[in-house]
């Protein structure tokens, strides 16, 4: 039987605030067995860009990454946010290593083609080297992956962290019994976004389609769930969408089935 691996994707809002970051690091460190963390950091990038006089442009919630913004996100995602997490995990007794997709050539992307919008240096994942990541994990090293990839031609690409987590989970499903956890600020998928007691505990494709058609599931939750169902189809054993503070109790939240 394959060993269990827990992959946690956590949004920037959690890792950028000192109190929620401290709680996350403690809870992540307490997860038994093998694990991997993928993180965001968008608010920190926006704040630094403002201080540097770099304009932030968002289209449908996605960051347009021109040359100047690429420098900012590389500094913030691969540097400040990533290394804060790694240092915190080391203090908690977790032997973590911070990576972008370019490190060890673990995640390659292709630059998003220009259609209605030119997103600039934004990448769509094309390959994850699960074997390379598994070698680290099997040596009791915990990868902490920033939302940056590369194209194999010397270019760094700003890449969606949810997509990176899903693709990484799919690649590692050949090696481990993978549970993928998407952590954010709410209890899970909610029937009423203002009422945490309305969390959907189990969600299959049919119910997802129904809730989406009724306008109950909207916005950024749609690509997150599309990604979750894709990973299940690719052999990931379990996907959980839950509040970051529930990380030590994965019976809570929304389970994708």
* Residue-range domain boundaries for the chain: 4-256
CA separation for the pair 238, 244 (Å, rounded): 17
| Bridge partner residues of 256 (DSSP) | 203, 239
What is the pLDDT tens value at each position of the chain, 257 positions in all? 789 999 999 987 888 888 889 999 999 999 999 999 999 998 899 999 999 999 999 987 789 999 999 999 999 999 999 999 999 999 999 999 999 999 999 999 999 999 999 999 999 999 999 999 999 999 999 999 999 999 999 999 999 999 999 999 999 999 999 999 999 888 999 998 888 899 999 999 999 999 999 999 988 788 889 989 999 999 999 999 999 999 989 999 999 98
| Residue-level pLDDT at 184 | 84
Q: Decide: 233 and 244 in contact? Cβ < 8 Å.
A: no
The domain made up of 4-256 has a fold known as Carbamate kinase (3.40.1160)
| Residue-level pLDDT at 186 | 87
| Residue-level pLDDT at 60 | 79
| Residue-level pLDDT at 117 | 92
**Tally of CB atoms within 10 A around 66:** 14
| Residue-level pLDDT at 223 | 82
Residues in CB range of 149: below 8 A, 6 or more apart: 100, 101, 102, 107, 108, 109, 123, 125, 156, 157, 159, 164
CA separation for the pair 122, 111 (Å, rounded): 6
| Residue-level pLDDT at 2 | 86
| Residue-level pLDDT at 61 | 78
| Residue-level pLDDT at 100 | 98
């Amino acid at each position: 039987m394959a060993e269990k691996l827990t992959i946690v994707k956590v949004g920037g809002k959690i890792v950028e605030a000192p109190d929620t970051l401290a709680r996350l690091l403690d809870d992540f460190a307490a997860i038994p067995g093998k694990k991997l963390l993928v993180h965001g950091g968008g608010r920190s990038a926006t704040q630094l860009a403002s201080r540097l006089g770099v304009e932030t442009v968002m289209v449908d919630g996605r960051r347009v990454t021109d040359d100047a913004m690429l420098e900012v996100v590389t500094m913030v995602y691969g540097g400040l946010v990533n290394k804060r997490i790694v240092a915190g995990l080391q203090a908690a007794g977790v032997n973590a290593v911070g990576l972008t997709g370019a490190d060890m050539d673990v995640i390659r992307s292709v630059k998003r083609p220009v259609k209605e919008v030119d997103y600039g240096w934004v990448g769509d994942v094309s390959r994850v080297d699960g074997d390379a990541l598994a070698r680290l994990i099997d040596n009791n090293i915990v990868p902490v992956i920033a939302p940056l990839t590369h194209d194999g031609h010397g270019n760094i690409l700003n890449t969606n962290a949810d997509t990176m987590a899903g693709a990484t989970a799919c690649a590692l499903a050949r090696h481990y019994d993978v549970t993928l956890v998407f952590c954010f600020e709410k209890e899970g998928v909610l029937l009423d976004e203002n009422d945490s007691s309305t969390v959907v505990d189990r969600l299959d494709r049919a119910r997802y389609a129904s809730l989406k058609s009724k306008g109950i599931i909207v916005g950024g939750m749609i690509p997150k769930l599309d990604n979750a169902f894709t990973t299940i189809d690719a052999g990931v054993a379990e996907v959980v969408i839950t509040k970051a503070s529930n990380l030590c109790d994965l019976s809570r939240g929304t389970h994708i089935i």
